[in-house]
Amino acid sequence: MSDTAGNPPRWRGSWLNRFIARPGFQSWASKFPLTRGQARRDGAVLFNVVQGFVQSQVLMALVELDILHRLRAGPQTAQTLGLAAQVPPEKMQVLLQAAAALKLLKRDGAGRFGLARKGAALMGVPGLEAMIRHHRAFYADMADPVALLRDPGHTALSEFWPYVFGAKGDLDPEVAETYSDLMAQSQQLVAEDTLRAVSFADVRHLMDVGGGTGAFLAAVGRAEPHLKLTLFDLPEVTPSAAARFETEGLQARAQIHAGSFRDSPLPQGADMISLIRVLYDHADETVSDLLGAVFDALPAGGRLLVSEPMGGGSTPDMAGDVYFAFYTMAMKTGRTRSADEIAALCAEAGFEAIKSPKPARNFVTRVLTASKPG
């Protein structure tokens, strides 16, 4: 008898897992011909999880020491790279060997190291190196994950991202610039995947709420020359957005409204409003209020566009439910939500025809669209 079609009873799965958890069984399974292949594969996967933090720190060292960029001209020895990076050659050899094991570098027959395809690709991903450097704050919060789960009073990430707590007016311009630069660099990939997933052919006017320095809006504006564009965000970042629109030649069809969606009404007139990597920065109450404000600002038949990393819900997702879930936890304000959870919040706000197609790269973004009843 099964609990659902094709699935074994729960008691059988529970018993089997207890049996598999025995050290003696694992030792036997690694030797028995019918099970040793799976046992070894499971062991390799588990060890990869265990050593994951070391891999991340190897990557951090490569970026901090500028190793990838130093190798763009061709392979070099540990001696040469160590001298340039002020690292003893024997320790540089350890770093380079580790990077080669991670397939970021490759080693030639003469013992020199050069760029591998993945290492070269890393440099070509907009904002990735800046995000890796930024991870110092995230690593500090993850140093004691149990303390993080028990809700500490202080986290490094909550101090790095002041906007999500509603900071305005007295925000340090240098902090705002750091925040905005990092967000802008990451928005290019988000824009690419969003543009692939959503058609703007029948959209006349797009307003991006919480759009920072306008990186996403500029990308859409380049791809869709018929669109009128509006950006709504805090006054600390709008000057950079104005400069971006002028540089991109979009100033004639792009307007900027400074304000906080927490306490300012959203401008009306747009037939699509986008929220790009906004919802997961905020608690459910704030998200509900924002979706309600978006609903009120849209005309009948207007559309909502949400684009951000999402959790997998009943099918847990590696990016959304591991990396982004703990990242937002460390921010101490938002959380990653599944597409179903966001859809439910949209429905509560009054939206209908809610859709979320399968993402091209779930570690970059997932898109959800909804419509205001006509």
Residues 256, 322 share a domain: yes
Residues 238, 184 share a domain: yes
pLDDT at 4: 47
pLDDT at 128: 86
Return the percentage of the chain with pLDDT > 90, whole number. 67
> Is residue 231 predicted with pLDDT exceeding 90?
yes
pLDDT at 48: 84
> Is residue 161 predicted with pLDDT exceeding 90?
no
- Ranked by mean pLDDT, which of 211-215, 238-242, 260-264, 291-295 comes out on top? 291-295
pLDDT at 5: 47
Q: What is the pTM of this model?
A: 0.83
Q: pLDDT, tens digit, for every residue of 47-88?
A: 788 899 999 999 999 999 999 999 999 999 999 999 999 999
Q: Is 341 a domain residue?
A: yes
Q: How many CB atoms lie within 10 A of CB 325?
A: 18
Which CA distances in Å does 85 have to 41, 114, 344? 38, 16, 52
> Is residue 169 predicted with pLDDT exceeding 70?
no
Residues 188, 109 share a domain: no
Question: Any idea what the CATH number is for the domain that residue 319 is in?
Answer: 3.40.50.150
Residues 287, 175 share a domain: yes
Confidence tier at 22 by pLDDT (50, 70, 90):
low
Residues 226, 331 share a domain: yes
Q: Is 285 a domain residue?
A: yes
pLDDT at 249: 94
Q: pLDDT, tens digit, for every residue of 333-370?
A: 889 999 999 999 999 999 999 999 999 999 999 999 99
Q: pLDDT, tens digit, for every residue of 307-334?
A: 999 999 999 999 999 999 999 999 888 8
pLDDT at 168: 47
**How many domains is the chain built from?**
3
Domain region containing 201: 145-371
Confidence tier at 96 by pLDDT (50, 70, 90):
very high
Residues 56, 46 share a domain: no
Residues 157, 117 share a domain: no
pLDDT at 333: 84
pLDDT at 40: 75
Residues 150, 102 share a domain: no
Q: pLDDT, tens digit, for every residue of 287-301?
A: 999 999 999 999 999
Per the prediction, the chain carries an average pLDDT of 87
pLDDT at 20: 65
Q: Is 140 a domain residue?
A: no
Q: Which of 68, 95, 124 is the last residue of a domain?
A: 124
